[in-house]
Structure formats: C-alpha cells, structure tokens
Amino acid sequence: MALWKDSNPMPQDSPVREADKTNVAALNPEPVTRRAPPSAPAPAPRAEAKESLIAPGVTIEGKIEGTGHVRLAGRFKGDVSVDGNLTIETGAQLTGLVRASVVVVAGHLQGNIENARRVELLEGGVIDGDVKAGSLTVAAGSKMRGKVEFGWEEKGGKPAVDARGLGTGT
C-alpha cells in the first residue's frame, strides 16, 4: 500500500513493463538460504525405538512381548519380555519375570530379571527377586532381596542367554 497518491495509475489490463519488474526485484530481494558446506554430509535419520506407557492408576494383568521400550508408571502383573528397555517408575509395581536389554527400577519389582545387559536400581527402588545382568548399578536408599549375578559371560564373550531367555547354543 502506497502512502502517496499515484497521479498516473497503470490500467489493470496493461502489461507489466520490464523496467517495473527490475525495480520490484530490487525492492524485494529473494530470501537468503544458508546451506551446509558440500563436504559435510547430512546426518542420517535415527531410527528411534517406540516406547509404550502403562500410565499411573492403570492396572493390567497379562504378558508383554515385543520390540521397543516399555515405561511402567502403573501396576502390571505378568511377564515382560522386550527387545528394548524397561523402566519402572517411582510408585509403579511389576510382579513377574523380566527380560529386557536395560532395566531401570525406581518403583517396585517383585520377580526375577534375566540376562539384562544393564540393571539400574535407583533411589527408592525395590527389587524382590534374582538378578542376572552384565552390569548392575545400585543407588543409596534402594532395597534388594535376592541373588545377584553380574559381569559373568560364557566362553567366547557371549552371554549365556539372549534377551528372550533362549540359550545361545554354545
């Protein structure tokens, strides 16, 4: 919108003159886009595992199997076998056998953990059962009752049991 009155308005049906196009381009330059240097490759998209949530106030009885991560904030009674991580949040309770790559316990687990790569027992967390893991981290203020085996591997550097609890056959 012009702030002045044009004494010579252009008719609507007249063609735009080439000189007018140049002036418009000079007043409204194209936006500048910045590009990464050609030597820097674009980062590859990362395939993130999906996470399932059992919300606080929810109680489920059954079995969980599959791939991806599971976060438990409610109550679950049954076995959990996932190719991913299991997190039991503060106030959550799980009763059953656990097979997962990484198990983080801030709530209450009543059952065994089999062949986890890593188990973290956080402050206020409780494990009432046996644990077999590659490594175990225990925070002050946590509780555990049961047998613990960690750091042991079968000959050849392979764990004796895979994440689904099946023997490796060696």
Q: What is the pLDDT of residues 62-85, one digit of tens each?
A: 999 999 999 999 999 999 999 999
In a domain, 95, yes or no: yes
Over residues 126-151, the mean pLDDT reads: 96
Burial of 84 (0-12, 13-18, 19+ CB in 10 A): middle
Across 59-63, 143-147, 155-159, least confident range: 155-159
| H-assigned helices in the chain | 18-27
**Mean pLDDT calculated for residue range 48-60:** 88
Query: Has residue 155 been placed in a domain?
Result: no
The CA dihedral of 60, 121, 50, 81, to the nearest 10 degrees, is -60
**Residue 16 resides in a domain:** no
For residue 72, being part of any structural domain is answered with yes
What is the total count of domains within the chain? 1
Q: What is the dihedral of CA 97, 127, 107, 59, to 10 degrees?
A: 30
Domain that holds residue 83: 51-150
Q: How many CB atoms lie within 10 A of CB 112?
A: 18
Answer yes or no: is 110 within a domain.
yes
Of the candidates 89, 123, 134, which has an alpha carbon nearest to the alpha carbon of residue 109?
89
Number of other CB atoms surrounding residue 133 within 10 Å: 22
Q: What is the pLDDT of residue 9?
A: 55
Tell me what pLDDT residue 170 has.
37
Q: Does some domain include residue 104? A: yes
The two structure tokens encoding residue 123: 């402050």
In a domain, 113, yes or no: yes
Whether 87 is in a domain gets the answer yes
